[in-house]
């Protein structure tokens, strides 16, 4: 299945059915009167968040979705049937924007969540509705209300517990393949990864979802390369694993360039918890490795983990670090929520 994280679709709700003009014609009923029924309501366009999807690829091949028209009213005061709704099924993490691609309509974050994007038109009144003491035999009925139509953007932001970020060829795909059952494309040239990959990581008795984001280069936040398109996927990650290629000469610049692009794209990305990891340590002489770790500690102001994604050395330390960070974030959120309920509460 191909990965597609953005699609533009046309949606239209159903027209309401027209009311009926009808009169009772029955033996032994001298003054039957009007009995035209109302029209049925047009179908809605509904967005539903479902399990088992992780791409918007279905909306590449079909871009137009129209709900059904309500059935017209009939004689004997019969109301027409409502039009059938059209349901757009999307994966968890999908956002819906107006045609300007900026105004947010809905954010689908839970399986089973449903949002009515467009409501169907009301059905028209039949002539029985217009009967009054002054007008015993009305000969008019309302047409059904027309549906609404517009273009909307669907944009998927993957929901992962942790995200792998770094420059092209930093070893992110190799790391993901080493710690999970995911099988991303791995090669010795830049931009091997052209779309995000997800893997479920098991460490100890815990599981979490890890996302591999395509490599970032300088200017990514301004549209250079391909990374800017996928930066949105790490907005929902609880922690970032910043992978740095230890074989390159200037590890300081490699670290700072990624941090700059994250903050330039969204300040919240620059504030996310981060685990700094120096990769490919099996290919670095001991003296050089020691110096590069020292440089990264100074620039990042935190501990630097050393791993070799190829051999698996040190990967467990990174995974345990992710679990520890996620637990700390969860505890902090729980305390914040409790303080809102009980302002004087103290742990």
The CATH number of domain 1-156 is 2.70.210.12: yes
Average confidence (pLDDT) over 62-77: 94
3 is in an annotated binding site: no
21 band by pLDDT with thresholds 50, 70 and 90: very high
Give the bridge partners for 23, in sequence order: 34
193 annotated as a binding-site residue: yes
- Report whether 9 contacts 63 (CB < 8 A): yes
pLDDT value at residue 39: 96
The mean pLDDT value for 185-200 works out to: 60
Is 1-156's fold the same as 162-341's?
A: no
Mean pLDDT of all residues in 80-94: 93
For residues 87-95, give the mean pLDDT.
91
Determine what percent of the chain is predicted with pLDDT higher than 70: 88
pLDDT at position 65 is 96
Q: What is the spatial distance between Cα 226 and Cα 191, in angstroms, rounded to a whole number?
A: 8
Query: What is the predicted pLDDT for the residue at 1?
Result: 47
The predicted model gives 263-283 an average pLDDT of 85
> Range with the lowest mean pLDDT among 78-82, 209-213, 231-235?
231-235
Sign of the four-CA dihedral 46, 52, 54, 57: negative
pLDDT band at 182, cuts 50/70/90? low
Q: Is 308 annotated as a binding residue?
A: yes
Tell me: is residue 228 an annotated ligand-binding position. Answer: no
**pTM of full prediction above 0.75:** no
Spatial distance between the Cα atoms of 234 and 163, rounded to a whole number of angstroms: 6
Determine whether the annotation assigns residue 72 to a binding site.
Answer: no
List the structure tokens of 292: 């590069």
In angstroms, the CA 108 to CA 270 distance is: 24
Query: Does 216 belong to an annotated binding site?
Result: no
- Domain 162-341 fold is Rossmann fold (3.40.50)
191 is an annotated ligand-binding site residue: yes
Mean pLDDT of 266-284: 86
C-alpha torsion 254→255→260→262, nearest 10: 110
Model confidence at 36: pLDDT above 90? yes
Question: What local confidence, expressed as pLDDT, does residue 69 receive?
Answer: 96
Q: Band of the pLDDT at 189, cuts 50, 70, 90? A: very low
Domain range summary for the chain, segments of one domain joined by +: 1-156, 162-341
Which helix (H) or strand (E) is 26 found in, with range? none
174 is in an annotated binding site: no
| Cα 257 to Cα 140: distance, rounded to the nearest angstrom | 71
Would the annotation count 269 as a binding residue? Answer: no
CA distance 134 to 139: 13
Q: Is residue 250 marked as binding?
A: no
Q: Walk across the sheet containing 6-12 and list its strands.
A: 64-66, 6-12, 149-156, 94-97, 104-107
25 against 86, higher pLDDT: 86
pLDDT of 328 over the 90 cut: no
Cα separation, 77 vs 226, in Å, equals: 61
- For residue 229, the model assigns a pLDDT of 61
**282 appears as a binding residue in the annotation:** yes
221 is in an annotated binding site: no
Residue 214 annotated as part of some ligand binding site: yes
């Amino acid at each position: 299945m191909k990965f597609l994280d953005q699609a533009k679709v046309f949606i239209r709700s159903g027209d309401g059915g027209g009311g009926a003009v009808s009169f009772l014609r029955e033996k032994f009923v001298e003054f039957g009167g009007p009995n035209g029924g109302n029209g049925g309501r047009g179908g809605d366009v509904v967005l539903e968040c479902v399990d088992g999807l992780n791409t918007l690829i279905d909306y590449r091949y079909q871009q137009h979705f129209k709900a059904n028209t309500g059935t017209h009213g009939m004689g004997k005061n019969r109301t027409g049937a409502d039009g059938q709704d059209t349901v757009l099924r999307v994966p968890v993490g999908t956002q819906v924007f107006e045609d300007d691609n900026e105004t947010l309509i809905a954010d689908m974050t839970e399986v089973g969540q449903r949002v009515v994007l467009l409501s169907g038109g009301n059905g028209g009144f039949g002539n029985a509705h217009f009967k009054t003491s002054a007008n015993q035999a009305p000969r008019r009925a309302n047409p059904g209300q027309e549906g609404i139509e517009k273009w909307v953007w669907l944009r998927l932001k993957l929901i992962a517990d942790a995200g792998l970020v770094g420059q092209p060829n930093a070893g992110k795909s190799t790391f993901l393949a080493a710690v999970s059952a995911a099988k991303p494309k791995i090669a010795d040239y830049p931009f091997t990864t052209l779309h995000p990959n997800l893997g479920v990581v098991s460490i100890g008795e815990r599981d979490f979802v890890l996302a591999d984001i395509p490599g970032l280069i300088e200017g990514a936040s301004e549209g250079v390369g391909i990374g800017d398109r996928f930066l949105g996927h790490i907005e929902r990650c609880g922690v970032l694993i910043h992978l740095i290629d230890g074989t390159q000469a200037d590890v300081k610049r490699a670290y700072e360039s990624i941090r700059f692009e994250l903050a330039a794209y969204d300040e919240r990305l620059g504030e996310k918890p981060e685990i700094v990891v120096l990769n490919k340590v099996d290919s670095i002489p001991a003296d050089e490795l020691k110096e590069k770790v020292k440089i990264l500690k100074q620039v990042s102001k935190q501990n630097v983990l050393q791993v070799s994604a190829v051999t698996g050395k040190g990967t467990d330390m990174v995974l345990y670090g992710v679990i520890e960070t996620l637990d700390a974030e969860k505890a902090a959120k729980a305390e914040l929520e409790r303080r809102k309920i009980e302002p004087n509460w103290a742990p």
